[in-house]
């Protein structure tokens, strides 16, 4: 234990420990800035910075006018950072960053939600959604597929589809606050083998992603990525 660690880290580590070991359960209030300065004998800057770090880690959430609280949902990791959320696919931007030319095509049509999508988007099964199929290509070769579903009243048509979801929602006055993803592996469906030129025996990564604005889901998508040739490099600053 280095004695000259920044003081804000003392606060961060103490609160983080309490959250992880359950002393501060989900929903519990975190001391306010003013209380932290007194409790830990630090300046307001340090207290504020500690709260920001914990919020950035997703352990706590700040509510203006009320306070900071331990998040109730386990907040873990995204498959990509938020600046890349504004694309329909998690990995297309990554490849772009690696210098490969990524292009994509899409087409949209209205569909009935059905029970499964109804649950994912918290709408009635008979509601109409806009379904958009995407195919991403890197240097011409197929990379990944994505199918996105949005409630009809939120979908914007025409040229606007080129813009990302976050930007489009922004113009509607809706702020995306959260993204939830789940990932699993499965054998490809025939259409996927075809579209992605999959070799025999190769499975796919299936990412199910939902964008939330508060407690309301505004978009959900299924992203299908070939499981063999695809090795994405992530890296992360500590």
Task: State how far the Cα of 188 lies from the Cα of 221, in Å rounded to an integer.
Answer: 17
Under the binding rule (CB under 8 A), the answer on residue 79 touching its own copies is yes
Touching its own copies, residues 12-71 (CB under 8 A): 16, 20, 55-59, 61, 71
Cβ neighbourhood burial of 179 (10 Å; 0-12, 13-18, 19+)? middle
Cα atoms in the 13 Å half-sphere on the side-chain side of 61: 11
Decide: is 46 part of the binding site for DNA (CB under 7 A): yes
Beta carbon nearer to DNA, 200 or 238: 238
Q: In what order do the strands lie in the sheet with 29-30?
A: 29-30, 67-70, 60-63
Using rule CB under 8 A, residue 182 touches its own copies: yes
Q: 33-40 and 7-20 helices cross at what angle (nearest 10)?
A: 110
Nearest to 110 by CA among 130, 86, 90: 130
In the list 14, 34, 43, 97, the residue contacting its own copies (rule: CB under 8 A) is 97
Q: Minimal distance in Å, beta carbon 181 to its own copies?
A: 5
- H or E stretch including 3? none
From the list 22, 25, 43, 125, which residue makes contact with DNA (rule: CB under 7 A)? 43
Whether 170 contacts 156, CB under 8 Å? no
Among 2, 3, 56, 65, binds DNA (CB under 7 A): 65
Q: Cβ 49 to its own copies, closest distance in Å?
A: 10
Q: Which does 78 bind (CB under 5 to 8 A by kind): DNA, its own copies, none?
A: its own copies
Beta carbon nearer to its own copies, 114 or 214: 214
Select from 131, 167, 181, 179 the least CA-distant residue to 151.
131
Q: Does 143 bind DNA (CB under 7 A)?
A: no
CA contacts within 13 A on the Cβ side of 124: 3
**Where do contacts with DNA occur on this chain (CB under 7 A)?**
6-9, 30, 32-35, 37, 42-46, 49, 51-52, 55, 62-68
**Where do contacts with its own copies occur on this chain (CB under 8 A)?**
2, 16, 20, 55-59, 61, 71, 73-85, 90, 93-94, 97-98, 166, 170, 175-187, 201-205, 208, 227-238
């Amino acid at each position: 234990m280095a004695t000259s660690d920044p003081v804000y880290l003392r606060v961060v580590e103490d609160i983080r420990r309490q959250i992880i070991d359950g002393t501060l359960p989900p929903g519990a209030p975190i001391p306010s800035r003013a209380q932290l300065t007194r409790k830990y004998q630090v300046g307001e800057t340090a207290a504020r910075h500690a709260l920001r770090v914990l919020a950035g880690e997703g352990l706590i959430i700040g509510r203006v006018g009320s306070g900071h609280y331990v998040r109730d949902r386990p907040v873990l990791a995204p498959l990509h950072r938020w600046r890349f959320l504004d694309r329909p696919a998690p990995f297309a931007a990554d490849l772009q960053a690696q210098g490969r030319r990524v292009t994509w095509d899409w087409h949209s049509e209205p569909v009935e939600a059905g029970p499964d999508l109804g649950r994912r988007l918290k709408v009635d099964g008979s509601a109409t959604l806009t379904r958009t199929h995407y195919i991403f290509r890197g240097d011409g070769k197929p990379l990944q597929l994505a199918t996105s579903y949005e409630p009809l009243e939120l979908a914007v048509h025409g040229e606007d589809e080129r813009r990302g979801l976050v930007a489009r929602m922004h113009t509607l006055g809706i702020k995306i606050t959260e993204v939830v993803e789940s990932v699993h592996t499965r054998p490809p469906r025939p259409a996927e083998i075809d579209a992605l030129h999959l070799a025999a025996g190769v499975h796919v990564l299936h990412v199910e992603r939902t964008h939330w604005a508060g407690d309301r889901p505004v978009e959900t998508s299924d992203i299908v990525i070939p499981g063999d040739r695809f090795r994405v490099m992530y890296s992360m600053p500590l």
